[in-house]
Amino acid sequence: MPANIFRKRAPLTKRERRYCSCLLNVRAKSTVNPYAVCTSSVYSQQGVTRHKRVDCDSNYEYENVPVEMLRSLAKEKKVPIKSKVGNKQVMTPKKTLINRLYKNIYARKSKYYHSLKDKVKSMSKSKK
């Protein structure tokens, strides 16, 4: 796997980077829960507890990630990995897959921020 799979300014610690690269490797190699395997190997076996949710998806440099790993990530995120060309189902090209993953991340983040905004509005209305 290439060493530069993360964005240059990704706000991740070394341990979080190891966790995220472990997720990519486990997804591509097996069908077991990658979160459990990587939490165990990167955190638990070293006597460290993970206190927050690590947002790996928005910190990857997808152009540097091998296409097999991108497909397994897209499959987990329920992003289509096949395209229809005529009557045939073909594997989606890497660039198209990357665009679909970015759209998925953007939609998830905007949905999260909108829900936070609504919570703040409802809290301010209840104080009045």
Q: Which residue has the higher pLDDT, 128 or 83?
A: 83
What does DSSP say about strands 88-91 and 82-85: parallel, antiparallel, or unpaired? antiparallel
pLDDT at 90: 84
Strands (E), the chain: 82-85, 88-91
Closest-CA residue to 66 (of 32, 28, 106): 28
pLDDT for 22 beyond 90: yes
pLDDT at 15: 92
- 48-96 confidence digits (pLDDT tens): 888 888 888 889 998 988 989 999 989 888 888 888 888 888 888 889 8
Run of H or E residues at 113: helix 94-127
pTM to 2 decimal places? 0.77
Q: What is the dihedral of CA 109, 12, 2, 89, to 10 degrees?
A: -20
C-alpha atoms less than 13 angstroms from C-alpha of 106 in its C-beta half-sphere: 6
